[in-house]
A and B are shown apart, each in its own frame.
Chain A
Amino acid sequence: MRSTARSFPQPSPALLSGTGATPAHIYYEPRVIRVDTTCPTSLPSPPRRPGAPSAQRPAMAHTSAGPSPADSVPFPRPAYLDHSALRHLLQTDTPSQLSSSPKPDLAVVRTEYAGGRRRVQRSPSFDSDEEDSITPGEISSRHQENNPLMSSALLRLPTRWSEEYRSPMLSVSADGRDLTYQGSPSNSDKDAAAARTIFPIPPACGIYYYEVEVTSKTNNNKGLVSRDFKLTRLPGWEKNSWGYHGDDGSSFATEKTGTPYGPQFGAGDVIGCGIDFSQNRAFYTKNGALLGSVFDNIGKDCDIYPAVGLCHLGESVRANFGQDPFKFDIEDHVLQQRNTTWSRIQTAPWTWPVADGDKDLTPASTSTAETRAKSQINDLVLSYLSHHGYARTARAFEAQCSARGGMSTLRLSKTFPSSSTSRVSDHDQIMDMDDVPQTPTIAPAPMDDIEIRTRIVHAVLTGDVDTALSDTRTHFPRALDADAGLVLFKLRCRKFVELVLEAAELKKRMCAEDAEMNVEADGEDKGISEGMGMDVDDEADISSTGVTNGFGGGSSAIPIKGKRKASFAYYSHSGLLGVIAAKYGTALEHAVAYGQELQSEYKDRPEMRAIFKRTSVIVAFEDPLEAGGDAADVAGQGARVSLATEVNQAILLSQGRPAHPALERIYRHTAASLTQLALIGNGAAALVDMPRELLDA
């Protein structure tokens, strides 16, 4: 019994010529392979174009033929893979498209080399011919554009032995997990038989692990075979295969000479095999105990598949690709490796990642460089605070930095002149901080600006669009021109919304006053009626009718009418109601007029009309904030927040500042780099969990 990780290298004629032993089982065709679910082993091998640039386009196709996916019991992604940063892309189950594809005879599973090596499953309907005209050099970038690696591409995990890539002497169970040797009862290595899984191991796993249990009763399990594409040799004996052999406990790395590695294994043993892409090494376990790292440079430039070789009649194994709990505590192992990876990255030497103007200024010593990095981090923090308008924090921070001498050049206001950096210096000349090289290019954001900007943002947040508009017009006129006046238009739209909300609010007050009055009328009918000489019962009737009949949801006419009646009874209330009602009328008129003004003013600007159309939906609701859906989206505080953000960005852009703070861009850039690294096979990157390391409290 040999449990192995093995690799199938990029196709080459040499490998193809070696397929004679198992004809018709392996196909190399750069893009597409036919899948015939009824007769998987009788497919004609598609002709291979001699001129195909195999090194550049080794898109090895896989078929998923054989037992239909329904035979495999779906299982969730094994828990240890939750520690991969790309866990959301790692998939165990078969997409439903596989069986429901309208063209089942065409390739439904497609792999390609995106980013040079990593295979990505494509959607079933992908037109395989369209890239024929593309030169290899164009492929990667083109695929990057077409194929959003980040979100929609899924990485398939090995889940079962392949019906295609197996020796004919092995039979695969319906669920794809059992392999049984059914060859001739000889004892020769020539009868070795191997199988591998359908899908290779995505390096984005970081660490991948599976276990194989030796299920046969026979003791002699030594003959486990897997050999490149012949599938008639044991894993490890051949190029691009690595194995651990049960008969002698040796490990074999791409050659027939073994190295003593672990104990022998046989019937009843559970052998685990893992590959750690962060080190490009493998490891094995026996019955839950780690045997140690083995092999070097594994999985660097080729795909790796789980594989098993057998060579005696009656031998059988059952694989666990995560369907069942593992014997070995793989999760703990992954966590250890993840921490190791993180500290390796964190202890690596680093420099401030800016190609700044003073490159030629070689730091006198590392300590000076540290001091300088510190001041640049302070700049980073201050620019962030300034960006988001945290004016008081920025001022306090700047004052403390200046007092400490930890700020290089970024300065908010004139209150802290540049000489302040050396304020801390004592009488010792050597303590003079001015020997820190300074970056002279960072433009200050005057504190005044931050405060005005903060005021504008605050005005938008509280619905005071007029103040926001006039302050912006006075201090940052160019911001309003941004995007051909779009920001100005959005602010004006918001003003319209605020006017409508104001009217709605007045109406709510009207209803509230009215309801309150009804309560009083109901409860105090006797007492109040005395001095007024009014028929209270009558009043109460009208009011209660009003209440039950929909003051809440009716048209505006009803509550106003009700209130007028009420005014006979309660002078003070009715006076208030009258005032509110009048205010409401004015507010509504005002809002409508403003809306009409906007509509006519921007009638030639389709993109703005679309925005306005969406905005004006709120008029249809009595209380847009409570209405939910679109109206609430348009009217709610969330809309104010995003508009405030937009206005802030427009102001910053108009001052020649970036729309996003450097800190945010650093974070995003780092995350995107890590994802890309993980996708192209850097296992260490796959083990870096940024949110966990940096964001979790």
Chain B
Amino acid sequence: MPPRTIIRKEEWERRLREVQVTKDDLNRLIMDYLVIEGYKSAAEEFSDEANVPPPVDFESIESRMVIREALQRGDIEEAISRMNDLNPEILDTNPALYFHLQQQKLIEHIRHGRITEALKFAQDELAPRGEESPEFLAELERTMALLAFDSSSSAPPAISELLSPAQRMKTAGEVNAAILESLSQGKEVKLVQLLKLLCWSEGMLADRADFPKIDLQEGLVATSRKEATDDSIMRE
């Protein structure tokens, strides 16, 4: 094993200062996040306040968000119809996405206790697709298992989580990514990519070196208030 490198705080700070990154660069990261995550009015304000050119038409953010909101409140019909208004090719060319939307619709039926509709919908719409692909079939089975439990709390987590808001968010995220892709817009949030890179690099380096780890809390929380107070006392 090679010896561990030790990097002291002052040295590390010096290197941090050497990193080339500007406020404009970071502003673009923020804009990327606001656009992809669909914070339309924030993106508009930001474009104006920080003088960052908008990477997309703000209206496209709006329609993406309407679809997302429909999905998040469980209105799958509305979402599908709006997606087709926007660009029918998105669903035509993406069978997995279409299946997941239908699955979400089934989940919503079950959530609201519409058992008859749920069964009919599953037989008419989902079962034929389940025959097409083992992955679809497994998902269908998992969803149908929801009917076996009288309340979601008694179901095992792998099944009951279908009823969670996270499942709706997951479907909404898939739809969002597909729409972004159809607009030739990046679908991965760069901010998240940065965080993943941070985790990876810090983890790898920690195996080989001792260096000051990042403390994000310090970035978001007022931790140095005490120091500031001490300083002012010293001066007075």
* Interface residues in chain A, defined as those with a beta carbon under 8 Å from any beta carbon in chain B: 56, 113-117, 136-137, 140-141, 144-145, 148, 150-151, 301, 345-346, 348, 350-357, 364-365, 367-368, 370-371, 377, 379-381, 383-385, 388, 390-393, 395-397, 399-401, 404, 410, 424, 426, 428, 430-431, 433, 441-443, 478, 481-482, 484-485, 653-658, 661-677, 680, 682, 684-685, 688, 690-691, 693-695, 697
A663 touches B26 (CB 8 A): yes
A430 touches B217 (CB 8 A): no
Interface members, chain B 154-171 (any A CB < 8 Å): 157, 161, 163-167, 169-170
Give Cα A681–Cα B22 distance, bound, in whole angstroms.
Answer: 28
Residue in contact with A484 in the complex, picked from B14, B49, B235, CB distance below 8 Å:
B235
Q: Which residues of B contact A141 (CB under 8 A)?
A: 5-8, 11
A371 touches B169 (CB 8 A): yes
Residue in contact with A144 in the complex, picked from B6, B34, B217, B220, CB distance below 8 Å:
B6
Q: Which residues of B contact A365 (CB under 8 A)?
A: 157, 161, 164, 166
B5 touches A380 (CB 8 A): no
Q: Which residues of B contact A668 (CB under 8 A)?
A: 16-17, 19, 21
A228 CB to closest chain B CB, in angstroms?
20
The answer to the question of B30 belonging to the interface, with a C-beta cut-off of 8 Å to chain A, is yes
B3 touches A116 (CB 8 A): yes
The answer to the question of B58 belonging to the interface, with a C-beta cut-off of 8 Å to chain A, is no
Give Cα A116–Cα B201 distance, bound, in whole angstroms.
Answer: 18
B3 touches A381 (CB 8 A): no
Q: Which residues of B contact A426 (CB under 8 A)?
A: 73-74
The answer to the question of B134 belonging to the interface, with a C-beta cut-off of 8 Å to chain A, is no
Known A345-B197, A694-B29: A353·B214 in contact at CB below 8 Å: yes
Q: Which residues of B contact A484 (CB under 8 A)?
A: 235
B108 CB to closest chain A CB, in angstroms?
10
Q: Which residue of B lies closest to A345 (CB)?
A: B200
B110 CB to closest chain A CB, in angstroms?
12
Known A388-B23, A393-B42: A346·B193 in contact at CB below 8 Å: yes
Q: Which residues of A contact B85 (CB under 8 A)?
A: none
Q: Which residues of B contact A368 (CB under 8 A)?
A: 166
Q: Which residues of B contact A656 (CB under 8 A)?
A: 222-228
A691 touches B20 (CB 8 A): yes
Q: Which residue of A lies closest to B6 (CB)?
A: A141
B217 touches A356 (CB 8 A): yes
Give Cα A661–Cα B27 distance, bound, in whole angstroms.
Answer: 12
The answer to the question of B196 belonging to the interface, with a C-beta cut-off of 8 Å to chain A, is yes
Q: Which residues of B contact A675 (CB under 8 A)?
A: 15
A430 touches B152 (CB 8 A): yes
Q: Which residues of B contact A381 (CB under 8 A)?
A: 30, 33-34, 191
Give Cα A225–Cα B54 distance, bound, in whole angstroms.
Answer: 61
Give Cα A658–Cα B228 distance, bound, in whole angstroms.
Answer: 11
A367 touches B197 (CB 8 A): no
Known A428-B111, A655-B225: A351·B15 in contact at CB below 8 Å: no
B219 touches A346 (CB 8 A): no
B221 touches A442 (CB 8 A): yes
A481 touches B232 (CB 8 A): yes
Known A350-B199, A441-B217, A656-B228: A301·B2 in contact at CB below 8 Å: yes
Write 29 A-B pairs (CB below 8 A) sorted by A numbering: A141-B6, A144-B7, A150-B15, A301-B1, A346-B188, A356-B216, A365-B161, A380-B216, A380-B219, A381-B30, A396-B39, A404-B72, A430-B164, A441-B221, A442-B220, A478-B232, A481-B232, A656-B226, A656-B227, A662-B218, A667-B194, A668-B21, A670-B198, A671-B21, A672-B15, A675-B15, A677-B204, A685-B204, A695-B28
Give Cα A391–Cα B195 distance, bound, in whole angstroms.
Answer: 25
Residue in contact with A400 in the complex, picked from B41, B157, B226, CB distance below 8 Å:
B41
Q: Which residues of A contact B190 (CB under 8 A)?
A: 693-694
**What 10 A-B pairs have minimum CB-CB distances, sorted nearest first?**
A662-B219, A656-B225, A367-B166, A116-B2, A397-B42, A141-B6, A656-B222, A673-B201, A393-B46, A393-B45
B39 touches A353 (CB 8 A): no
A481 touches B235 (CB 8 A): yes
Q: Which residues of A contact B50 (CB under 8 A)?
A: 388, 390, 393
A676 touches B5 (CB 8 A): yes
Give Cα A168–Cα B214 distance, bound, in whole angstroms.
Answer: 53
B54 CB to closest chain A CB, in angstroms?
11
Residue in contact with A115 in the complex, picked from B5, B45, B195, B197, CB distance below 8 Å:
B5
B195 touches A353 (CB 8 A): yes
Q: Which residue of A lies closest to B200 (CB)?
A: A345
Q: Which residues of A contact B20 (CB under 8 A)?
A: 691
Q: Which residues of A contact B200 (CB under 8 A)?
A: 345, 348, 350
Q: Which residues of A contact B30 (CB under 8 A)?
A: 381, 384-385, 663
Q: Which residue of B lies closest to A55 (CB)?
A: B3
Between B10, B21, B190, the greatest number of chain A beta carbons within 10 A of the residue's beta carbon is seen for B21
B19 touches A430 (CB 8 A): no
B58 CB to closest chain A CB, in angstroms?
12
Q: Which residues of B contact A410 (CB under 8 A)?
A: 220
Known A353-B198, A368-B166, A481-B235: A144·B21 in contact at CB below 8 Å: no
The answer to the question of B4 belonging to the interface, with a C-beta cut-off of 8 Å to chain A, is yes
B99 CB to closest chain A CB, in angstroms?
19
Q: Which residues of A contact B2 (CB under 8 A)?
A: 113, 116-117, 301, 680
B15 touches A695 (CB 8 A): no
B224 touches A672 (CB 8 A): no
Q: Which residue of A lies closest to B232 (CB)?
A: A478
Give Cα A682–Cα B208 distance, bound, in whole angstroms.
Answer: 10
Q: Which residues of B contact A431 (CB under 8 A)?
A: 165
Q: Which residue of A lies closest to B189 (CB)?
A: A377
Give Cα A379–Cα B217 distance, bound, in whole angstroms.
Answer: 11
Q: Which residue of B lies closest to A432 (CB)?
A: B165
Give Cα A404–Cα B42 distance, bound, in whole angstroms.
Answer: 13
Q: Which residues of B contact A663 (CB under 8 A)?
A: 26, 29-30, 191, 219
Q: Which residues of B contact A383 (CB under 8 A)?
A: 219-220
A115 touches B216 (CB 8 A): no
B111 CB to closest chain A CB, in angstroms?
7
A350 touches B195 (CB 8 A): yes
B159 CB to closest chain A CB, in angstroms?
12
Residue in contact with A353 in the complex, picked from B7, B202, B218, CB distance below 8 Å:
B202
A417 CB to closest chain B CB, in angstroms?
20
A672 touches B19 (CB 8 A): yes
Q: Which residue of B lies closest to A433 (CB)?
A: B165
Q: Which residues of B contact A352 (CB under 8 A)?
A: 195, 216
Q: Which residues of A contact B211 (CB under 8 A)?
A: 673, 676
A666 touches B214 (CB 8 A): yes
Give Cα A404–Cα B188 distance, bound, in whole angstroms.
Answer: 20
Given contacts A116-B208, A383-B219, 13 further A-B contacts (CB under 8 A): A350-B200, A353-B199, A357-B217, A365-B161, A377-B189, A397-B42, A478-B228, A482-B231, A485-B235, A663-B30, A665-B214, A676-B5, A688-B197
The answer to the question of B96 belonging to the interface, with a C-beta cut-off of 8 Å to chain A, is no
Known A666-B214, A695-B28: A351·B166 in contact at CB below 8 Å: no
